[in-house]
Structure 1
Amino acid sequence: MAVLPTRLTPLARRLPDVKELASLMRFGAPRADRRAARLSKAADVADLRRIAKRRTPTPAFDYVDGAAKRELTHTRAREVFDSVELLPRILHGIAEPDLSVDIAGAHSALPFGIAPTGFTRFMHAEGENAGAAAAAAAGIPFTLSTMGTRSIEETAASSGDGDRWFQLYLWRDRDRARDLIERAAASGYGALVVTVDTPVAGQRLRDVRNGMTIPPQLTPKTVVDAAWRPEWWFNFLTTDPLTFASLSDSAGDLPSIINGMFDPTLSLKDLEWIRSAWKGQLFVKGILTAEDTRRALDTGADGLVVSNHGGRQLDRAPVSLQALPGVRAEAGPDVPIILDSGITTGEDIVAALALGADFTLIGRAYLYGLMAGGQEGVARVIELLAQEVTVAMTLMGAATTKDLTPDSVRAPWLQG
């Protein structure tokens, strides 16, 4: 026979205590700084992406958010990062892990830096200056792209004493390339990052459909799209014209500009020439296979950037994180390796470090912050990612980034 549960004694009721209620009603005064208020509500990079999409015209947002063709590589990158399990380790007594890393001959306070991005002032008028200043304040490196919208010298001034790298494409004009190399060296750029995965421009269909050009062409469609984003519109109209600062005579649609610069016949000899011209640290960006790892190192590279260009070049290319262990195996333990493409969370950074990277770069994540709130938005991205890395490492019992090893994670595509 079932036993009925004892009936609970009815709750004792009373009138609300006005003093107690008043102590709970703490309504903050509206913040005059709307940018700061907006950014403070963002709990992660995904929140900043949503803010960025609201505040940025469609062509600019899609240039950041999109990838090549059907965007399969970009989509798969997220799936691969999400598939990695981070293994917790208990009772290791770590109050606060050390996130700092030595990379490219310098010290970084965090295990990530800012990747090179082109057309940056189209996302927000503060552009590269905002990224360089925020990176310097956080003690991490900032990478200026050949296709940046602020010059080598302007960005160096914004970076101040911060660590900065310059990204160079393999391109056909040796004189202009040498000029950029010499200017970067004179302006205190500590490393040269040579991108080798762009013999031609990838087919970025969002940009084609949006009619992306430099300088931007104002059509009825773009005016309507930008009109309800007054801050972006005001900044665009009241600041200096938007150009590729290192390519001052360039104009037209993006694929034409890129294809006019680059030559599909470029080879290792061109990389050898850059190696001879640059005396500092040289990293080759765009490595995804063991074969290309060996070729780059034999040509004189000091380090490698495992990257699929954020899925923006060859759709169906390997996901960088999956390519990383093979590159590490071929390069050996002493070659500095940076993981680029697809990072949007601190857990992504931890996974990359565990699977063989010494450092990581953020591209889209940085630009989401920039679009959401200029320099303050970039600083917010850095802050959020640093917090996420700190929490993950603490829960994983990792006192330093070197404690993150393949034994710290489970990746289904590496099992058995």
Structure 2
Amino acid sequence: MSASNHPPAGPVLTARLRREAISVRALRLMARRALPRPVFDFSDGGAEDEHTLRRNEAAFARYALLPRPLDGAPVRDQSQRLFGMDLSMPVMIGPTGLAGLFWPGAEKLAVRAANEAGTAYCASHGSVCTLEDIAATGEPNRLMQLFVYRDRGFTRELAERAAAAGYKALVLTTDNQLHGKRERDLRNGFTIPPRFGAADTLAMATKLPWLMRMGRELPTLTFGNYRREGQPSDIRTLAARMHDMFDPAMTWADVDDLRRLWKGPLILKGVLDPGEAAEAVARGVDGLIVSNHGGRQLDHAVSSIEALPAIVRAVEGRIPVMLDGGVRRGTDVVKALALGASACFIARPYLWALSVGGEAGVAHVLGLFRDEIDRAMGLLGVTSLAQLSPDRLMTLAPLGGTA
């Protein structure tokens, strides 16, 4: 599908935003201007010295594209079928907790924008609304994120709720069992909901549109999926409870238990080691997401794109391999697909777009990726995603120690 005939993009950005929001990089700068600093840094920051955060983006430069324009590509098709979903592009929206801090009703707006664009949305365990609220939008292409909790009964409960609500796949995230040290949040004194110091309060004069949108939302902000009848549901109480719920003692036995319980596609997110990838295939996992949690967990972990080729070799084409982390351009997606990925997920880019344009912003950033992928395919001389292979890339010298 070429850029000229993709599905309609839903609500339209204002002329000013459309003029300025020409790239993900531009959207990030716009979000930085629009959001209070603690909120922006919550989306933008990583763990400790942020080496992995930076490397996730920088490592895509290790791979240079090799165009073959004489192959001819007058029409390009980005469509494919994954996990029972017909997707018009190889970019999906990944799970991001507290998206509702960036725009009211964020999760429901994002799932609508994703489906309008012909792609899919993965709901975060930490959504402001419940997974049932997201399902109630009626949008079909939905995945659900899950963790292994100390209370295995709660793990089963969320999986059963996702099944009852018609989610197409379960995304078991394995790399958040201990919380990363996110030093920007510590420096900012970030809390949920955010509390603003004197300097932040003075700076709020430049953030009035965000404050006006969110003013009524902030006092009632919560983690919808963790609310319990008869128990405190304010977000500070729930955040403190969640901190101790994730189980660092999880093992492959927990994956096996979930595999037996969940009848649909089961995807493992947080895979960086090829041995773990091979083990996942052997245990009946249906898909993998190569991910280091956006550099928010273990600093100095390998970048996602650098880990991808070994994961693809270990899987040997038996299940789809996807990627998140550092994806900022359509060419990044093209490189990942040429190295064997089936699709990429975006997180920060969608939050930045959401921050400046709500649903129209999410539609716009997906449109940016679609157009950039289409342009790259045309200049490479490929007409379908299946034609993207390692011979369309040249591997450059390894990155130095400055990433």
What is the match of residue 286 of structure 2? 302
Q: Which amino acid aligns with 2:161?
A: R
Q: Which secondary structure does the structure 2 equivalent of 1:352 belong to?
A: helix
Equivalent residue in structure 2 for 1:81, among 60, 84, 89: 60
Q: Which amino acid aligns with 1:405?
A: S
Q: Which segment is superposed worse, 58-67 or 87-96?
A: 87-96
What is the match of residue 187 of structure 1? 165
Structure 1 distance, partners of 2:286, 2:268, is 8
Q: Which structure 2 residues correspond to residues 389-408 of structure 1 after superposition, within 5 A?
A: 389-408=373-392
What is the match of residue 340 of structure 2? 356
Is 2:13–2:360's contact at 8 Å kept on the other side of the alignment?
A: no
Residue 239 of structure 1: how far off its partner (Å): 3.2
Q: Which amino acid aligns with 1:289?
A: D
What is the match of residue 6 of structure 2? none
What is the match of residue 184 of structure 2? 206
Q: Which secondary structure does the structure 2 equivalent of 1:91 belong to?
A: helix
Equivalent residue in structure 2 for 1:68, among 47, 68, 82: 47
Report the TM-score, using the length of structure 1 for normalisation. 0.87
Equivalent residue in structure 2 for 1:136, among 111, 115, 129: 115
What is the match of residue 367 of structure 2? 383
Residue 93 of structure 1: how far off its partner (Å): 2.7
Render the CA deviation track for 1:347-400: whole Å, top value 9, x for unaligned.
000000000101110111111111121111111100111000000000001110
Residue 219 of structure 1: how far off its partner (Å): 4.2
What is the match of residue 330 of structure 1? 314
Residue 242 of structure 1: how far off its partner (Å): 1.1
Is 1:36–1:376's contact at 8 Å kept on the other side of the alignment?
A: no
Greater Cα radius of gyration, structure 1 or 2? 1
Residue 319 of structure 1: how far off its partner (Å): 0.6
Change (3 A) 1:34 1:351: closer
Q: Which amino acid aligns with 2:87?
A: S
Structure 2 distance, partners of 1:148, 1:409, is 38
In the alignment, structure 1 residue 320 sits paired with structure 2 residue 316: no
Task: For CA contacts below 8 A with separation 6 or more, give which structure has more relative contact order.
Answer: 2
Structure 2 distance, partners of 1:239, 1:250, is 12
Q: Which secondary structure does the structure 1 equivalent of 2:92 belong to?
A: strand
Structure 2 distance, partners of 1:257, 1:40, is 44
In the alignment, structure 1 residue 174 sits paired with structure 2 residue 152: yes
What is the match of residue 254 of structure 2? 270
Q: Which segment is superposed worse, 377-386 or 242-251?
A: 242-251
Structure 2 distance, partners of 1:77, 1:384, is 20
Q: Which amino acid aligns with 1:180?
A: L
Render the CA deviation track for 1:243-300: whole Å, top value 9, x for unaligned.
1111234644998555312121111111212112211000000000111112222332
Render the CA deviation track for 1:223-242: whole Å, top value 9, x for unaligned.
33434211111122223711
Residue 413 of structure 1: how far off its partner (Å): 5.3
Is 1:213–1:254's contact at 8 Å kept on the other side of the alignment?
A: no
In the alignment, structure 1 residue 162 sits paired with structure 2 residue 140: yes
Is 1:126–1:375's contact at 8 Å kept on the other side of the alignment?
A: no
What is the match of residue 412 of structure 1? 396
Aligned residues: 382
Structure 2 distance, partners of 1:324, 1:213, is 34
Q: Which segment is superposed worse, 244-253 or 263-272?
A: 244-253
Residue 56 of structure 1: how far off its partner (Å): 0.8
Structure 1 distance, partners of 2:172, 2:165, is 18
Render the CA deviation track for 1:74-106: whole Å, top value 9, x for unaligned.
111221112321111022232121011211222
What is the match of residue 326 of structure 2? 342
Q: Which amino acid aligns with 1:262?
A: F
Q: Which segment is superposed worse, 254-263 or 379-388?
A: 254-263
Q: Which segment is superposed worse, 209-218 or 55-64?
A: 209-218
In the alignment, structure 1 residue 54 sits paired with structure 2 residue 38: no
Is 2:221–2:235's contact at 8 Å kept on the other side of the alignment?
A: no
Q: Which runs of no fewer than 5 residues in structure 2 stay unpaired?
A: 1-11, 228-232
Q: CA RMSD in A?
A: 2.0
Report the TM-score, using the length of structure 2 for normalisation. 0.90
Q: Which segment is superposed worse, 124-133 or 377-386?
A: 124-133
Q: Which segment is superposed worse, 40-49 or 277-286?
A: 40-49
Q: Which secondary structure does the structure 2 equivalent of 1:246 belong to?
A: helix
Is 1:398–1:404's contact at 8 Å kept on the other side of the alignment?
A: yes
Is 1:213–1:251's contact at 8 Å kept on the other side of the alignment?
A: no
Structure 2 distance, partners of 1:355, 1:346, is 14
Q: How many percent of aligned residue pairs carry the same amino acid?
A: 38
Q: Which amino acid aligns with 2:206?
A: W
Equivalent residue in structure 2 for 1:97, among 60, 72, 76: 76
Change (3 A) 1:380 1:205: same
